[in-house]
Amino acid sequence: MAGADPILFDLDGTLTASGPGILASVRYALAELGEPIPGQAVLDRFIGPPLATSFAELCGLGPDRVEEAIGAYRVHYIQRGMFDNAVYDGIPDALDHLSDAGGTLAVATSKAEPYARDILDHFGLSDRFAVVVGSELDGRRTDKAEVIAEALRQLGSRGADQRGAGRGAGPAMIGDRRHDVAGALAMGVPSIGALWGYGSADELTAAGATALVAQPTGLVPLLRPLR
């Protein structure tokens, strides 16, 4: 990996369109707990952030109820929701082009790491990534900055100044939500907002994204000068 620039990808909303399975599992969990199910606009905000944060902030659950909700969510997600999912058009080709250009690819997701690995295996993406880092099933390492830090540690790399985005000066983080941008900023890593995902241009710009890209194919010209 010496001399290769790490390119970190979020999973949900960046590599795969995971919304249907996630939202069905959220609805199941809230129904199991007898909690009201919020409207679609609120449900959509579950895609990307850590589950504990979303159940607490979006549904007003206390710590004990959050744990119950996550447990119920996982029952449905493992049985039915995980693969109610699809790889975005253009992602496999973009990954291959970036790897061919000298990038070292990694996944940095707030999703529980075992589930992330299962999804990547299911969709035939695993062999494209040198490192896959997610949260722990016991609730540790859910903050995106912690996830990015661990991915960089495993890659033997360090954060780069934002001015290095796409110029071979260090890592870059690609994600579709403000949490991806915030985690990258905390680690001194440039962030690229994926507009094909679940976040908006306004959300990503307000969070401080270094650049925005409309389609996966747009990553290649932005990041290709890696050597």
Question: Across the strands, what pairs with 105?
Answer: 7
Per the annotation, the verdict on 64 as an active-site residue is no
Question: Across the strands, what pairs with 4?
Answer: none
Residue pointed to by tokens 């390119």:
7
Residue pointed to by tokens 């599992």:
25
Among 10, 12, 176, 180, the one annotated catalytic: 10
Please tell me what DSSP assigns to residue 157. -
Q: How many CB atoms lie within 10 A of CB 169?
A: 15
CA angle 185, 188, 189 (to 5 degrees): 80
| Contacts for 6 with CB less than 8 Å, ≥ 6 apart | 103, 104, 105, 106, 151, 152, 155, 157, 170, 171, 172
Look at residues 221, 198, 203, 158 and name the one whose alpha carbon lies nearest to residue 15.
Answer: 198
Token digits of residue 56: 């607490």
Please tell me what DSSP assigns to residue 11. S
Residue positions annotated with a catalytic role: 10
